[in-house]
Amino acid sequence: MKIGIVGLGLIGGSLGLELRSHSHEVLGVSRQERTCELAVARGAVDDAGTDLKFLADTDAIFLCTPLAQLQAIVLQLVSHISTKTVLTDVGSVKTSVVREVSPLWVNFVGGHPMAGTAQSGIEAAQHGLFARNPYVLTPVEATPLEAIALVESIIKPLQVRIYRCSPEDHDRAVAWISHLPVMISASLVSACLHESDANVLKLAQALASSGFRDTSRVGGGNPELGGMMARYNKLELLRSLGGYREQLDRIIGTIEAEDWESIEAMLRQTQAGRSQFTD
Ligand code: NAP
């Protein structure tokens, strides 16, 4: 198949590496000429350019730019491609994207590969990023079944676990397990940096080890991506932050009351509950 990718960064570049290794011809479009050259040199695309016309003759196009650019790109793209071309995106938020793009292109399937790293850009693209991870598709009633089937046929060989749900359910679920953790992790780093005793701060920085590395990882990721999560999934993120604040208040109250039994009981519950989210 001839597949286009717009936005040759971490996700777009990694997709290109995978799709080419499954014998697809991959054409890329990115904003900067230098990124296009790097993507070709790294083997993420067969060829790349900065003009969307470059993707005129493709069967499917993956939109892999930051969320803020998606609608403008689709508006430009539609005048160059055949009505049969299937568009899909990889954005971390779905309701706003599906609402903006669906009216512009019938053959559009919202998508979100649940995989990433703290890095960004084409230099960060890597083989195997998606394997064994969930890949969510968020079709709506008007989405043609053939378009969904085509996207699934492209992503299935990447060994992803495919899920389908509504854009709204997607956004509510990822607020809990992706967007909320970014904000909690960021606020952890920020709170630590506010230690007022310079010596203690220095000591804490020297002593930070695996626990801090694990809990601060997602807060130390791509700031643009975190900003987009907050902006485009505002209501669900606020809902999950409210739920988190309630839990924090409960913990503070229990510790102030020196109710050590309740603290331990809660930690026993979370120890067991964690495995319901991770394997
Ligand atoms: P990224 O590494 O910053 O890559 C985005 C790329 O888009 C940049 O390299 C940039 O290319 C290109 N770009 C920006 N504006 C463009 C435009 N107008 N036209 C063409 N190309 C443009 O970001 P990413 O992490 O891959 O994220 C991309 C998408 O994946 C986002 O929608 C995000 O929500 C989603 N996502 C991210 C993750 C994650 O953990 N990172 C996980 C799942 C989904 P130039 O270098 O040419 O400027």
Burial class (CB in 10 A: 0-12, 13-18, 19+), 31: middle
Q: What is the pLDDT of residue 118?
A: 83
Q: Give the bridge partners for 4, in sequence order.
A: 27, 61
Pairing mode, if any, of strands 111-113 and 134-137?
antiparallel
Q: Examine the pLDDT at 221 and tell me if it is beyond 90.
A: no
Question: Distance (Å, rounded) from C-alpha 138 to C-alpha 151?
Answer: 11
For the residues 154-161, what does the mean pLDDT come to? Answer: 98
Q: Examine the pLDDT at 220 and tell me if it is beyond 90.
A: no
Contact by Cβ (8 Å): 50, 32: yes
Ligand 1 centroid–CA 73 distance in Å is: 13
In CATH terms, are 2-165 and 169-276 the same topology?
no
Percent of the residues in the chain that have a pLDDT greater than 70, as a whole number: 100
Nearest to 94 by CA among 189, 23, 165: 165
Determine whether domain 169-276 maps to CATH 1.10.3470.10.
no
Residue 105, phi-psi category: left (phi > 0), alpha (psi -120 to 50), beta (remainder): beta
Q: What is the pLDDT of residue 68?
A: 94
Select from 11, 14, 92, 224 the residue to mutate for testing ligand 1; criterion: most ligand atoms less than 8 Å from CB. 11
- pTM for this structure? 0.95
Burial class (CB in 10 A: 0-12, 13-18, 19+), 138: buried
Superfamily of domain 2-165: NAD(P)-binding Rossmann-like Domain (3.40.50.720)
For the residues 247-271, what does the mean pLDDT come to? Answer: 97
For the residues 177-197, what does the mean pLDDT come to? Answer: 97
Ligand 1 centroid–CA 120 distance in Å is: 8
> For the segment 9-30, what is each residue's pLDDT rounded down to a tens digit?
999 999 999 999 999 999 999 9
Quick one: DSSP state of residue 177? I
Ligand 1: atom nearest CA of 89 is 32
CA-nearest residue for atom 9, ligand 1, is 9
- Domains of the chain, by residue range, sit at 2-165, 169-276
Give the Å distances, CA to CA, from 35 to 9, 118, 146, 251.
Answer: 8, 19, 33, 48
Count of CB atoms situated within 10 Å of the CB of 20: 16
Question: Distance (Å, rounded) from C-alpha 80 to C-alpha 56?
Answer: 5
Q: What is the pLDDT of residue 274?
A: 95
Q: What is the pLDDT of residue 222?
A: 87
- 201 contacts: CB under 8 Å, gap ≥ 6: 192, 193, 195
Question: Distance (Å, rounded) from C-alpha 110 to C-alpha 143?
Answer: 9
For the residues 228-246, what does the mean pLDDT come to? Answer: 97
Query: Which residues' Cβ are closer than 6 Å to ligand 1?
Result: 6-12, 29-32, 35, 64-67, 69, 73, 90-92, 112-113, 116, 120-122, 222, 225, 228
In this structure, of 117-121, 157-161, 251-255, the range with the lowest mean pLDDT score is 117-121
As given in the structure block, the two tokens for residue 277 are 């989210």
